[in-house]
Amino acid sequence: MVELKKSDFYFDLPEELIAQDPLEDRASSRLLVLNKETGGVEHHIFRDIVHFLEPGDCLVLNNTKVIPARLLGVKEETGAAVEVLLLKRKEKDVWETLVRPGKKMRPGAKISFGNGLLKAEVLEVVEEGNRLIRFSYDGIFEEVLDRLGEMPLPPYITHKLQDKNRYQTVYAKYEGSAAAPTAGLHFTTELLKEIESGGVDIAYVTLHVGLGTFRPVKEENVLEHHMHSEYYEVSKEAADLINSAKEKGGRIICVGTTSARTLESAADENGHLTACSGNTEIFIYPGYRFKILDCLLTNFHLPESTLIMLVSALAGRESVLAAYRKAVEEKYRFFSFGDAMFIR
């Protein structure tokens, strides 16, 4: 096996191309269409996606919902500012979290949020320095969180988000993500109706996106990178829709790397799906053989990230990097609030 180097996935990105704010109209983003067979590139507007979908295709969307997982509080003993990011619910009021600054937050440390509306105690330090925290409050946790929490925007977005819903897809349903499945942010309810009326099936799967999705690959040898774990669920309804489209010769088109990782984790060797749920650490990079996915609709990803590696596995590293260079040249907007790419 040829060694894959992290630096093989580097491209030069001017900082001004990192989108800081969502567009007024979701579907007016630009859309770069990459032909994975020829490497050919076309430039469109996102709502033109309807022209690239055919009757019998199945579009797969991730209906996870981002929780306002960023809490700003103070350490009760000293009044020092503390930031807590909710990563994963372990039991009713116990969460695995990322705490900044972490060093002083030892087991027993107490934190107060919103003048005591929400209180927390650090229980233990777990892997990667994360903290297990128990929360106490009056009423319903989700309602308290909605009042006090902020959307946990990625580190490269420095502007304050004016409307929480803009970091949420229009079809978000099941709470549990610390980051949005951003390829889906371009869809409007009207556009989805138009796609369905064109004879395209829409299947919903769930993968709760963790902050590990932003974790940089540190090892130069890509194969030494340890992938983060995320919870996913495929319902019987979704499995039946996807299997049926596949059997009839339709294409399976994943919206976002999260939908792609869900299907590739859940499918058997013959590309067949059954209803299932679990945690996935699947790491897709060049050399991977896709079992079920045919096409991918995705945003533009960070240099040297596991996400650009996944895209390169589908369309070929050279073609992807050439398309990214073209996108930089044409001043496409990058990352979470940026433009989209359709690999067909």
The tens digit of pLDDT for each residue in 19-66 reads 999 999 999 999 999 999 999 999 999 999 999 999 999 999 999 999
CA-wise closest residue to 186 among 66, 36, 298 = 298
Rounded to 5°, the CA angle 230-278-63 comes to: 65
Q: 7 near 304, Cβ under 8 Å?
A: yes
- How high is the pLDDT of residue 1? 52
CA-wise closest residue to 342 among 325, 323, 326, 322 = 323
CA-wise closest residue to 72 among 102, 112, 36 = 112
Residues in the chain: 344
Q: 299 near 307, Cβ under 8 Å?
A: no
> Could you tell me the strand order of the sheet in which 230-234 lies?
41-45, 30-34, 340-343, 295-299, 252-255, 58-62, 201-207, 230-234, 276-280
Residue 252 has pLDDT above 80, yes or no: yes
Average pLDDT of the segment spanning 236-244: 98
The chain-wide mean pLDDT, for the chain, equals 94
pLDDT in tens, 305-342: 999 999 999 999 999 999 999 999 999 999 999 999 99
Residue 281 has pLDDT above 90, yes or no: yes
Residue 2 has pLDDT above 70, yes or no: no
pLDDT in tens, 166-222: 999 999 999 999 899 999 999 999 999 999 999 999 999 999 998 777 778 899 999
What the block records as the tokens of 112 is: 């107060």
Query: What is the band of 149 on the pLDDT scale with cuts at 50, 70, 90?
Result: very high
* Phi (first) and psi of residue 87, to 5 degrees: -105, -50
Average pLDDT of the segment spanning 118-124: 96
Average pLDDT of the segment spanning 255-283: 96
What the block records as the tokens of 335 is: 């990352």
Would the pTM count as exceeding 0.95?
A: no
Read off the DSSP letter of residue 267: S
Query: What is the band of 280 on the pLDDT scale with cuts at 50, 70, 90?
Result: very high
Average pLDDT of the segment spanning 229-236: 95
Which element (helix H / strand E) includes 340?
strand 340-343
